[in-house]
Amino acid sequence: MKKKLTGYLISKYSYPGTVYSFKRLLEEAEKLDIDLLEIGVADCTIISGKVYFKGELLPERDFAIVRYYVPAFTEALCKLVKRQYNDTEIIAKFRNKYNQVSLIKPNCFKQPKSILGSASTDFDFLQKKFGLPFIAKGLESYGGQQIFLIRNVFDYDSLKFHFNDAKEFLYQQFISESRGEDIRIFAVKGETVAAMTRISDGDFRSNHSLGGSSAKVEITEELRNIGKDIYEQTGIDFVGIELLKGKDGLYFCEINTVPGFESLEITNEINIAKIMMEVINKDFA
C-alpha cells in the first residue's frame, strides 16, 4: 500500500483555513488524501536545531508549501522535508526586486530601464536617465507597498522623509501606457494556467489590496512563452508574473515567489489550488 503523502503548509500565523489560499490548498489536499498541516511560524520555536510547534516537536514530512518566508524559521521547517514549493533558496534570491531585473533576461518580453540606488541618489541624475515621472520601488516590498510615482523633486524628497538616506530603491522607467493597469499570469512549472488584467480605481498601481479590479485574459502563445521562459530562468514551481503593457509590447514588472491566487481563481473560474496539489502529488508518485 502506498504511503500517505504528508506536508507542511507554512504560514505566518496558525489560523488554519482562514486565508483564501490556505483554505483552498487544504481543501484540495484533503480531496487527494494528502495530510497537509498548516504551521504558523509565529507559533514555532527552535531549540538546538529542532523545531517545535506549540511546544510539540515537529517530525519529518514529505514536502512543504512555503506561503510565508522568514529565513531562520522557514528554512528550519524546510529541513524537515524532502521537497519545497517553492524552494527557499530561490525565494531568498528572487524576492529582491533588483535581483529580478538583473538576473532575469528578457527573452519573451521587454525590461524597463532600471537603476539601483538609495534615497540619497541624485534627483537630477535620475531625471536625466528616466525623464518624469519615474518609479521608485523598495527592494522587498509587496502588495503595492513601497512603490512610488515620482513626478517631481518634492515627491522624491518625500522618500527621505519616510525612509533613511541609505534605504535602497530600484528606480525604473515609468511605462505610461500601463498606468493603473497590468497583466498578471500564474504559471505552474512553466505552464501558464491563468491570466488576468488588473485595473486600479484611480491609482497608478493596480494591486487588489489598493482597490483594483480584475478581468480574465485569454492565454495567448506569448503568455505561454513568458511562463516557460521565467521557469527556465528561475526554476520557480509556482509563480505569479506581473507584466506592463507598453506601446511596443509587454514589459516585465516583477515576479511573486509566494503568489496569491484568489482573484485568478475567481476571475478565470479555474481551480489553481487543485492544479498545485496535483503537481505535488505527481512528484511523489
Convert the pLDDT of each residue in 135-172 to its tens digit: 999 998 777 788 999 999 999 999 988 998 899 999 99
For the chain, what is the domain count? 3
Of 134, 156, 174, the residue at which a domain comes to its end is: 174
Of 174, 192, 227, the residue at which a domain comes to its end is: 174
The predicted pLDDT at position 203 comes to 55
Residues 119, 170 within the same domain: yes
105 belongs to a structural domain: no
Residue 205 has pLDDT above 60, yes or no: no
Whole-number Å distance between alpha carbons of 240 and 188:
9
127 or 142: which leads in pLDDT: 127
Residues 182, 261 within the same domain: yes
76 belongs to a structural domain: yes
Residues 149, 187 within the same domain: no
Q: CATH number of the domain that 142 lies in?
A: 3.30.1490.20
90 belongs to a structural domain: no
Residue 204 has pLDDT above 70, yes or no: no
Residues 183, 273 within the same domain: yes
Residues 43, 16 within the same domain: yes
Give the contacts of 265 (CB within 8 A, at least 6 positions apart).
24, 194, 271, 272, 273
Average pLDDT, the chain: 93
209 belongs to a structural domain: yes
Q: Which pLDDT band holds residue 178 (cuts at 50, 70, 90)? A: confident
Of 132, 147, 174, the residue at which a domain comes to its end is: 174
Report yes or no: 26 and 47 within 8 Å, Cβ to Cβ.
no
Q: CATH number of the domain that 233 lies in?
A: 3.30.470.20
Residues 137, 183 within the same domain: no
* Residue ranges of E strands in the chain: 6-11, 35-40, 44-47, 50-53, 56-57, 61-66, 81-85, 114-118, 134-138, 147-150, 168-173, 181-188, 191-199, 213-216, 238-246, 249-256
Whole-number Å distance between alpha carbons of 124 and 154:
12
95 belongs to a structural domain: no
Residues 146, 185 within the same domain: no
Residues 193, 160 within the same domain: no
Q: Which pLDDT band holds residue 253 (cuts at 50, 70, 90)? A: very high
Residues 170, 185 within the same domain: no
Residues 189, 163 within the same domain: no
22 belongs to a structural domain: yes
The predicted pLDDT at position 252 comes to 96
185 belongs to a structural domain: yes
Range of the domain at 75: 6-85
Q: Which pLDDT band holds residue 199 (cuts at 50, 70, 90)? A: confident
Tell which residue, 150, 112, 136, 104, has the closest CA to residue 248.
112
187 alpha-carbon distance from chain centroid: 11
Residues 201, 231 within the same domain: yes
Give tens-digit pLDDT for 100-123. 999 998 788 999 999 999 999 999
Q: CATH number of the domain that 18 lies in?
A: 3.40.50.20
Continuous H helices in 32-137: 71-78, 88-94, 97-103, 123-130
Residues 169, 194 within the same domain: no
108 belongs to a structural domain: no
Residue 38 φ then ψ, to 5°: -80, 130
Q: How far is CA 199 from each of CA 74, 177, 208, 209, 244, rounded to the nearest angstrom?
A: 33, 12, 9, 12, 12
Residue 208 has pLDDT above 70, yes or no: no
**What strands lie across the sheet with 238-246, from one edge to the other?**
213-216, 191-199, 181-188, 238-246, 249-256
